[in-house]
Amino acid sequence: MNSQNKQQTDFIKMVAKQLGKNFMAPLFEVTKEKSQVAYIGGLAEILDWSKEFCEQYYDKVTNREEFMWSRDNICNTLNDLIISFGREKLKTFYSKPENHTNYFSRRYSSI
């Protein structure tokens, strides 16, 4: 693995840790699922969010000078940006009209 890929992987792990710590419980509040498949699905959802965050912000965040002057710099710290991103993803998740009761089991049952 080259150093660029390792840095991106480490970045995704860091983002996933923050998102998981702050948003796993709220995700499961709406689903009411209590199975291993659902838990793995919730982790997969958080990982998907983390990858999306990396795609949107990795290059900007790693170039601090450029990021400080960009329109994406809406927060004081990287952690604040991750939390803000997570809140938006959770809001989108809650607003979907589909049945959340067994969402993770349905979406990620083939994992």
Q: Where does residue 45 rank: exposed (0-12), middle (13-18), buried (19+ CB within 10 A)?
A: buried
Give residue limits of the domains in the chain: 28-108
Which pLDDT tens digit goes with each residue over 9-68? 999 999 999 999 999 988 877 777 777 777 888 888 899 999 999 999 888 777 766 666
The torsion angles phi and psi of 7, rounded to 5 degrees, stand at: -65, -45
Amino acid at 40: I
Whether 108 shows a pLDDT value over 80: the answer reads no
pLDDT confidence band for 95 (50 / 70 / 90): confident
